[in-house]
Structure 1
Amino acid sequence: GWPKEYGGLGAPIIHQMIFAEEMVYRNAPLDSQAYQVCPAIIVHGSEYLKKKFLAGTADQSILWCQGFSEPNAGSDLANVQTRAVADGDDFLVTGQKIWTSSGHRANWIHILTRTDPDAPKHRGISYFVMDMKSPGISIRPLVNLLGHHHFNEVFFDNVRVPKQHMLGELNRGWYAATTTLDNERSGIRDVAAARRHFDLAVRVLRERRDLSGLRRDKLILHRLADMRCSLEVARMLAYRVASMQTRGLTPNMEASVAKVFATELQARTCDVALAATGLYGNLLPGSKHVVAHGEIPEDRMLCIRSTIAAGTSEINRNIIATRGLGLPR
């Protein structure tokens, strides 16, 4: 969905969503951060940033991580305290980020910093892209309950970042960051993952003879039918967002609607899939009688994170109520 002159195909955004959906459904690797920061670079970035980062992201020589959340700035993201202080042609960045996905693999980070501590929260923020090999950056792993290392804490100690690496305007980085957040919320990854687990469960239920009792259970069948309906709704909500983006519209409230519905649906889909596959469905990878590659119970334990990332369900419901329905905060 990027212009050809920056390494893209010049295809409409909806083609990008189709590609992402198929990649996730097939459990193929996908750099989700590229779909978040690069639209912000296209909309808000200088010509220098576009030429430096878009083509490299497209050919995967540039891998991104996101530096938004902090210990005291999660749902209240505008409360970021990581400081960036001007120093000649650079800024010096000091602070801490948390829940940084793939921070141990990425070679660049897009990061929110506070450049004016005296301004109202949303108006004193600047948005930068920073080389992860810069002196002064240290990374500490955060291991989840399955023993996987995906998240990290990232610490910055007077890290030097050039002024020309600012994304958007000084002290107005929040507005560029909302482009990133809207694209993060409007993705189809959660829908595609839920579809995959649903289809895996249905296949197991159809093919295993020792699950014949569950195949005749009307409650299970009706739950599966209801879930199929919900998955179609979630998919159409996601494609509605892509359609708006293709037409040059900003899907602010619509992205939040799609995000809330899809991320909460993913957990419900796993619950139905576990019920439909009986006791086998609870077995993890490596177990003798594992079904569906053990993906369903793993995802059930981890999918709650999707209801928190890119704004909790509660935050997104606030966005729907205020920006979508015009109700007071």
Structure 2
Amino acid sequence: MDLRFTPEESAFRAEVRSFFRTEIPAEIRAKVSEGRPLARADYVTSQRILNARGWAVPHWPREWGGQDWDPIRRYIFMEELMQAAVPLPQQFNCFMLGPVIAAFGSEAQKERFLGRAANLDDWWCQGFSEPGAGSDLASLKTRARRDGDQYVVDGQKTWTTLGQHADWIFCLVRTDPEAKKQRGISFLLINMTSPGVSLRPIITIDGRHEVNEVFFDSVRVPAENLVGEENRGWDYAKFLLANERTGIARIGLTKERIARIKRLAREVPAGAGTMWDEADFRARVASLEIELKALEITQMRVVAAQAKRDAARPDPASSILKIKGSELQQAATELLLELAGPLGLPAPRGGLPNDPEALSWESFAAPTYLNARKVTIYGGSNEIQRNVIAKAILGL
């Protein structure tokens, strides 16, 4: 497939590339590139710089801060952003909740939430998974009972990413326990400061606090915080997850990591030379690049098809991007860990020291590798994505 761009598209690429490398603080981009943990302030600073330029949510409708770019420009923007190691605009605000509210929310919800989400004035987290409802999300048991002009919510969510920073959580809740499990679910917006909401951290295998458990104990939520229609939440969740899966491919991120691998390999000693002198290592890097180019071609096919599809019915080929993209992300972190060698041993119990800035890049190779194990699971596990492909694409 021809991956060449028009002169206008190439000029756009040069514009965004220059902006990312000159306007986003270099110290924030270095943290992203090296796998160092980002503070809440780093995310906020970066996103507000983008939002001031009108680039935090370019894929949203123009009336709510979007740019009305065609799919090619959206693709170029995201690829250059990741290759420049700029923090992604907050995923839950910009790529999950925002498009759902823009497509299915009331006018009051759009006015209230979208601008604040784009500027990260409100930080959102996702309340989908539960202890007994991960890959089989429709088995969720968190219940919302209608009581006048409120819902009363009881239950538990888990693996709530960056919930410790969140002001709000968007939740799938069961509003009709008698209906078929996909048909009795609603999409509810809940303030994290509501009485009865509590959060407990989960320390992950990389020693960091990234995910959480969230508990709801008779939490009262205004009925006006219901998105769309009651018991239609599964439809909105499928719309959200398809958008999430397309982003999970993260081709630009893997390109940035490959470039870094090549640079570091020329510096890391091995035998009488460097790791880059090792033919086997170079062959593995080349194999990763070839697979990434094939995925990029698939991504471009999906992008080209987007302009012809109903936006409310995302391309099921996003599942292909999710599967292969996540596998290649993991492969890149494995090569980085190999480069780190013994200096990349996992962090001691309790995580990294309080002053991570003093540590070399090798110290973050193992946490990055371990953290990347999740990408074949979240957003719908790769096993589930193969089922989606079998049904929606192959017709099995």
Give the structure-1-normalised TM-score: 0.90
Q: Does structure 1 conserve the Cα–Cα contact (< 8 Å) formed by 2:162 and 2:212?
A: yes
In structure 2, do the counterparts of structure 1 residues 190 and 245 end up closer, same or farther at CA, with 3 Å as the change threshold?
Answer: same
The residue aligned with 1:150 is 210
Q: Does structure 2 conserve the Cα–Cα contact (< 8 Å) formed by 1:116 and 1:171?
A: yes
Q: Does structure 1 conserve the Cα–Cα contact (< 8 Å) formed by 2:239 and 2:314?
A: no
Cα distance in structure 1, aligned partners of 2:338 and 2:164: 36
Structure 1, gaps ≥5 residues long: none
Cα distance in structure 2, aligned partners of 1:140 and 1:80: 19
- 2:95 matched to 1:32? no
- 2:367 matched to 1:298? yes
Within a 5 Å distance, the mapping from 1:200-211 to structure 2 comes to: 200-208=260-268
Task: Note the C-alpha offset of 1:232.
Answer: 1.9
In structure 2, do the counterparts of structure 1 residues 103 and 203 end up closer, same or farther at CA, with 3 Å as the change threshold?
Answer: same
Which of 304, 316, 328 is matched with 1:253 structurally?
Answer: 316
Within a 5 Å distance, the mapping from 1:180-329 to structure 2 comes to: 180-188=240-248, 190-208=250-268, 212=273, 214-249=275-310, 250-275=313-338, 278-279=341-342, 292=361, 294-327=363-396
AA partner of residue 91 (structure 2): S
AA partner of residue 291 (structure 2): S
AA partner of residue 191 (structure 2): D
Q: Does structure 1 conserve the Cα–Cα contact (< 8 Å) formed by 2:161 and 2:210?
A: yes
The residue aligned with 1:164 is 224
Q: Does structure 1 conserve the Cα–Cα contact (< 8 Å) formed by 2:343 and 2:362?
A: no
Structure 2, gaps ≥5 residues long: 1-58
Q: Secondary structure at the match of 2:206?
A: coil
Cα distance in structure 2, aligned partners of 1:54 and 1:297: 37
- 2:127 matched to 1:67? yes
Task: Note the C-alpha offset of 1:228.
Answer: 0.7
Identity of aligned residues (%): 38
Task: Note the C-alpha offset of 1:119.
Answer: 0.4
Cα distance in structure 1, aligned partners of 2:201 and 2:84: 28
- 2:162 matched to 1:102? yes
Task: Note the C-alpha offset of 1:277.
Answer: 5.6
Q: Does structure 2 conserve the Cα–Cα contact (< 8 Å) formed by 1:241 and 1:251?
A: no
Task: Note the C-alpha offset of 1:151.
Answer: 0.4
Which of 69, 72, 76 is matched with 1:11 structurally?
Answer: 69
The residue aligned with 2:45 is none
Q: CA RMSD in A?
A: 2.6
Task: Note the C-alpha offset of 1:233.
Answer: 2.4
Q: Secondary structure at the match of 2:235?
A: helix
Task: Note the C-alpha offset of 1:100.
Answer: 0.4
Cα distance in structure 2, aligned partners of 1:292 and 1:32: 25
In structure 2, do the counterparts of structure 1 residues 238 and 66 end up closer, same or farther at CA, with 3 Å as the change threshold?
Answer: farther
AA partner of residue 109 (structure 1): I
The residue aligned with 2:149 is 89
In structure 2, do the counterparts of structure 1 residues 131 and 161 end up closer, same or farther at CA, with 3 Å as the change threshold?
Answer: same
Task: Note the C-alpha offset of 1:313.
Answer: 0.8
Which of 107, 110, 113 is matched with 1:53 structurally?
Answer: 113
Cα distance in structure 2, aligned partners of 1:296 and 1:12: 37
Q: Secondary structure at the match of 1:123?
A: coil
Q: Secondary structure at the match of 1:187?
A: helix
- 2:151 matched to 1:118? no
Task: Note the C-alpha offset of 1:262.
Answer: 0.8
In structure 2, do the counterparts of structure 1 residues 145 and 52 end up closer, same or farther at CA, with 3 Å as the change threshold?
Answer: same
Cα distance in structure 2, aligned partners of 1:184 and 1:307: 13
